[in-house]
A and B are shown apart, each in its own frame.
Chain A
Amino acid sequence: MDTYLEFRGIGKSFPGVQALDDISFTVSGGRVCAILGENGAGKSTLLKILSGDIQPGAGGVYINGAEQRFTSPYQAIRSGISVIYQERQLIPAMNVMENIFLGDIPAGRAGFVDRAELRGRTQEIIDSFGLPIHPLELVGRLPVAYQQMVEIMKAYRRNSKIIAFDEPTASLTDSEISILFELIGKLRNDGKIVLYVSHRLSEIFQITDEIVVLKDGRFVKTLETRETDEQELITAMVGRDIGDTYSGLKRNDRYGETLLEVSHLETAAVHDISFELKSGEILGLSGLVGAGRTEVVRAIFGADAIISGEIKLEGKPVHFKKPGDAIAAGIALCPEDRKEQGLVLLRSIRDNITAPVLDKVRKGLFLDKKAEDEVAGDAIKKYSIKTPSSDKPVLELSGGNQQKVILGRWTSSKMVTKVLILDEPTKGIDVGTKAEVYRIVCDFARDGIGVIFISSELTEVINVADRIIVMRNGRITGEVRREEASEESVLALAMSE
């Protein structure tokens, strides 16, 4: 009988988020199964549970009907599961054969490594895959694609029954991809279960037998690859009700002058980016994780180097060497990772809010505590930040309140913000605060600020933004207005080849 893998009622919640909810499906040996879903649908969490990296809160993983309880990745590997992540789990300073046999290196009685045996067995595996790799080559010197091959051979050597790939083609060239697909084909013919997580629809149609669609942490359906098409997949991925969070938003309907003009912007990560932003406009920037959205705004903000292209602010060309220059000119950025990049967690709410305006809250040599408290107090009141005083370290605030501290920083009475860039402003905050953030963003627009709104949540971006630019692989692939935007149309642009 063939091997089969079953997820039964898997649930997992993190503080404030239900990442997975009652996921059940079965995959059998000799099949390649794609796991598909938007950002945040729960694909990575599911792989982490499979690999023993985290434990499910409910339900379990069953192999051939027997429940598997993994408390560590080691146990999952022993049970025949190999998960191949984007970040390769190889040791670059060791050679191919040592990596393939890592954790199970053949040794003689005295504990010395049996190099001849090691090399012979490695060569056998390499030959069976028909790859031009030498067993003694250092893994760190191999091209990325071949490093991935080493990972696959490692899984093969372990005699893994189940091999899962997380976005395996993200950093591969076309010819490398075809080698990878040949290997996956071989795994299938050997009766392995292959799970394949990818955003690239064309690949999924090329290589998989069935497709499991996840949505907001729930199982939607399993489709036979041969019997479905792109349209059906996208509908399955987005199909959900839109609540009335958005209908009550007071939008701005009068735009002012053009504030920001970006033409042919080129950096190490993004290419030929051109767009305009008007005063009072909310411009959404959409795309899958890694599409280059953050990189575009970091370049505009002076945080990353620009190779070529031009940025104009209110008609005048600007060159920001560092974020401080951009801030002085009236551009503000709320970064995507507020704990790592947005806030100094140990310091107080006041210190975090007045950081960019210290020059305006001092008397002579010394900082004017009273003026500082006024600025901070305004923000606390305006955004109803829950805190007894502005002295409280931001470390002790909830995620939503932390986000409001950053918004308070950029819109304080001492700041002249013309362009406000929000990178994933609602990430990891609860539904109620999210709605508050949408209201605040619309208020900014009505005050004449030009807002760039980056979000991985499709519903959010098409309902908050007036116009949406969609990116893929560092380039703009299209633009839609809110009236004509649907999750399907945006997702199609984000995933189109």
Chain B
Amino acid sequence: MENMSAAKRLLRSKLFSLAAVTAVVVLIFYLIRRSYLGVDNIRGILNSMSLSGTIGVGMACLLIGGGVDLAAGAEGCFGGVMVALLISKAGAPWPVALVAVILIGAAIGAFNAFLINVLNFMGFIATIGVSSMLQGIINIITKARNISISDRGFWSIGTVAVANLFTLPFMIMAALVVVYGIILSRTRFGRTVYMCGGNRRAARLSGLNPKKISTILYINCGALASLGGAILAARMHSGSPKAVLGSELDAITAAVLGGVSFMGGAGNMGGCFIGLLLLCSFNNGLISVKLASYWTIVAQGVLLIAALIADYFNVRARARELKAAGA
């Protein structure tokens, strides 16, 4: 087993099997409908990755570090609405509004971190509460209506594209994936995230500071979610009180598809990216073959459960292998 060739190791790796599944999914949709791989549709897929991806980067780091933020969708929504209000109602220049909104997201993340690390509430429950609070506030300040943005400079975030294929929202997301990928795999902070997520008590007794790490990750997740919401507002030319809701579940789904453990301590950004690509090509494909939209929700659930089942068999096979090796 130790002398496994590089090729064999690649074949065995989770990342490779995930990429293979993605390729098969894309191929099937292509065979059903040739326009699936047309430039316009590919751009659509990549663009659709930007929202759940931007939120997903923060979420994946948090999951690896042993936390979860179920308010991420509401945080994104709040970001979109706030950026629209700041530009349209307060007349702020859009770069200022964008920075302000990221800071607002960070502040909400800090509130989550306070509930979880100071008051010791469970992340799962605390963030459900925060999500509900935020959704209510959003509806009060917008009266449940979209807030339109007429600043063309801000629109350009959604329209600029390289080679008519890679839009700016996609590239921002891709850049975040790369930067956070490097932070996780190569820096001291990244290593600490894995150790604290893998076993909080052992990490603390090894001299690491799990509460500090968790706090940073919640703040980071809030900031990125808010950024994601603001970018969506730029694409839609308005801040919507509900467009981003539920995207925390897409972010979690993509991360788990990509091999992030819900228990913490395992996963990486490369996997998350492919997981996201799979999720978005799948959703887009279901729409492009004109499946009724309710069925896409069913199919998404099937995809996630299929990934969990595949993982279950993977883990069992590994356990058997270890037993056979007498370890």
Contact = CB atoms under 8 A, between A and B. Distances in A.
A367 B202 contact: no
Contact of B188 (A322, A333, A367): A367
Nearest to B190: A367
A367 B192 CA distance: 11
B198 A397 contact: no
Contacts of B186: 365-367
Contacts of B204: 303, 322-323
B202 A324 contact: no
Contacts of B206: 323, 327, 352, 355-356, 409
Given A388-B2, A396-B322, A397-B327, A351 B195 contact: yes
Contacts of A340: 199, 201-202
A258 B261 CA distance: 47
Interface stretch (A207-215, A341-349, A438-446, A489-497): A341-349
B73 interface: no
A342 B205 contact: yes
Nearest to A365: B187
B194 A351 contact: yes
Nearest to A409: B206
A322 B209 contact: yes
Contact of B208 (A324, A341, A366): A324
B266 interface: yes
Contacts of A301: 205
A361 to B, nearest CB: 9
Contacts of A356: 206-208
A118 B322 CA distance: 54
A328 interface: yes
A354 B192 CA distance: 11
Given A358-B192, A367-B188, A396-B327, A344 B265 contact: yes
Interface string A303-341: 100000000000000000011100110000101000011
Interface in A354-381: 354-356, 358-359, 362, 365-367
Given A344-B203, A345-B199, A355 B208 contact: yes
Contacts of A345: 198-199
B14 interface: no
B43 interface: no
A303 B203 contact: no
B2 A346 contact: no
A257 to B, nearest CB: 25
A367 B187 contact: yes
B210 to A, nearest CB: 10
Nearest to B211: A322
B327 A351 contact: no
A359 B202 contact: no
A343 B204 CA distance: 10
A344 B202 contact: yes
Interface residues of A, number: 34
Given A344-B202, A347-B194, A396-B322, A366 B207 contact: no
A351 B191 contact: yes
Interface residues of B, number: 24
A189 interface: no
A362 B327 CA distance: 32
Contacts of A303: 204-205
Contacts of B199: 340-341, 343-346
Nearest to B200: A344
A347 B198 contact: yes
A242 B192 CA distance: 45
Contacts of B202: 335, 340-344
A324 B209 CA distance: 8
Contacts of A352: 206
Nearest to B321: A396
Given A345-B198, A396-B327, A355 B265 contact: no
A413 interface: no
A358 B327 contact: no
A366 to B, nearest CB: 5
A324 B204 CA distance: 7
B205 A333 contact: yes
Nearest to B265: A346
Contacts of A359: 188
A359 B327 CA distance: 32
A18 interface: no
A178 interface: no
A256 B191 CA distance: 37
B198 A346 contact: yes
A303 B210 CA distance: 13
Interface in B147-204: 186-188, 191-192, 194-195, 198-199, 201-204
Interface in A382-433: 388-389, 396-398, 409
Interface in B216-263: 261
Nearest to A396: B327
Interface centre among B187, B202, B209 (most CB of A within 10 A): B202
B188 A344 contact: no
Given A323-B204, A327-B206, A341-B205, 16 more contacts: A301-B205, A322-B204, A322-B209, A323-B206, A333-B205, A340-B201, A341-B199, A341-B201, A342-B205, A344-B265, A346-B199, A355-B195, A362-B187, A362-B188, A367-B188, A396-B327
Closest 7 CB pairs of A and B: A344-B198, A327-B207, A324-B207, A355-B206, A356-B207, A388-B2, A344-B199
19 contacts: A323-B204, A323-B207, A324-B207, A324-B209, A327-B206, A340-B201, A342-B202, A344-B198, A344-B265, A346-B198, A351-B194, A352-B206, A355-B206, A356-B206, A356-B207, A356-B208, A365-B187, A367-B186, A398-B327
Interface of B: 2, 186-188, 191-192, 194-195, 198-199, 201-209, 261, 265-266, 322, 327
